[in-house]
Homo-oligomer: A and B are copies of this chain.
Amino acid sequence: MKTLFIHGNFLDAPTPQELRIREDHWLRAENGRIVSLEAAHPDAAALAAAAVRDFGKALLLPPFVDLHLHAPQYNNRGLGLELTLLDWLQQYTFPEESRFASLDYARPVFLALRHELWQVGSLRSVIFASLHTDAALLLMQLLSEAGLAAYVGKVNMDRNSIPELSETTEGSVQETLRFLEGAKAFAPQVRPILTPRFAPSCTPELLRRLGELAAERGLPVQSHLNETPEEVAWVHELFPEAPNYLSVYEHYGLLPQGRTILAHGIYNTPPELALLRKRQVCLVHCPSSNMNIGSGIMAAKKLLRDRYKMGLGSDISGGEDLDLRLLMRDAHKASALQTRLDAATEAPLTTAEVLYLATCAGAQFFNAAPAALPAGIFEPGYSCDLLAINDSALTGLRSYTLAERLARALFQSQYAPVFCRMLGGRELPEPEMELQPGAGESLPDA
């Protein structure tokens, strides 16, 4: 069936300032692309000849986009949050990540991660795998089979790691080439992204080689930026000739125009802000992680108002949760707190702004890919994507406007589950999640 009609309440945020509510509307899609969205009821003949999905009074939102998460940290969510960053990396992050040398270990974890991305409605995501090429390719394969859209990066790190998680410079480059070759099988649904972990974990030579690769092949890049003052100081030590942290990536050709994602960006200097704008870098606001680790509060409200590119990231397991709505909740909280603590922040993030960050803003990174079908809002010419949310547990006691229902569904996600997920006009079925008998065998049978 090429024509699809969808009926329901459509809510989206094409800009941070605009919460667009189209109640009781009809969307028409052809071949997975939105053709129209109107209040008028389609005529009976057109309906009879098409596929029809009537979502009644549910809330229909664009799918969520998680711009930053570490897939191998899935099992560490919620652990070690009271440790200092260094202890946490040593006790939890690195040992867990080492285990992804084994595909037997990786497979059930990635199946569970995939299922949860589907469940919470993060139908697009930008992911750090580990440095293990085969595990990264397995993750791409599993996401692809589930119909989820993603960028996945095999991590590069040739210094400042533990022995079990280290590469030589040449080995890292060669494995990256092998990764890119294997990744071809999953495009365009799931694409590769170059992923130097962050400046301190890569030698200048590795950064240079990766920058050349980005230019030669037109590849996007993801990494980290300005997450804590200690990290910034470390970068200055390691790259004394660089005027600032961001300039390290620039120097090595790792800021491809409009196709770079950098997580955090809390401690940006004015020259870095200018460079972020010039290169159209997309920053990732990770409020849950930033609070857990005590990194600080990103100036999200101000950056958004000043039109920097930015989206949201769960950053598991710095953040403990993949649910983008818990991220929106924390983004609001962090910004409201910032309003108190910082005179330059005149108001907290609004519902429209957090919805924008979680949907339209994140999708723009995907829209920048060559020949991409644009996504992120309900608009003719865009991909026919949606999440349908059942908020009936929140609406039985009183009447609410659709804007109020949206606020409650975003900030109380546990009572308003996603019950249908669509990309390109196709509903994504629940992905398989085989539990390995024997996994967790040292555990009690609760």
Interface on A for B, CB 8 Å cutoff? 9, 56-58, 74-75, 77-82, 108-109, 112, 288, 290-297, 320-321, 323, 329-330, 332-334, 336-341, 347-351, 390-392, 394-400, 404, 407-408, 410-412, 414, 435-436, 439-446
Contact = CB atoms under 8 A, between A and B. Distances in A.
A79 B410 CA distance: 10
Nearest to A442: B399
B291 A337 contact: yes
Nearest to A349: B82
A335 to B, nearest CB: 9
Nearest to A406: B78
Contact of A336 (B58, B291, B408): B291
A446 B108 contact: no
A441 B337 CA distance: 37
Contacts of A329: 320
B292 A333 contact: yes
20 contacts: A74-B397, A79-B408, A81-B407, A82-B350, A108-B397, A112-B396, A291-B336, A292-B336, A294-B336, A294-B337, A296-B340, A320-B329, A321-B412, A330-B333, A391-B446, A395-B440, A396-B435, A396-B443, A399-B440, A399-B443
A203 to B, nearest CB: 30
Contacts of A333: 288, 291-292, 330, 333
Given A323-B414, A395-B440, A412-B320, A407 B79 contact: yes
B446 A78 contact: no
A352 to B, nearest CB: 9
Contacts of A323: 414
A442 B443 CA distance: 50
Nearest to A446: B57
B78 A408 contact: yes
B294 A339 contact: yes
Contacts of A80: 407
A215 B172 CA distance: 75
Given A320-B412, A333-B330, A340 B294 contact: yes
Given A56-B446, A291-B334, A396-B440, 4 more contacts: A288-B333, A296-B337, A320-B411, A397-B440
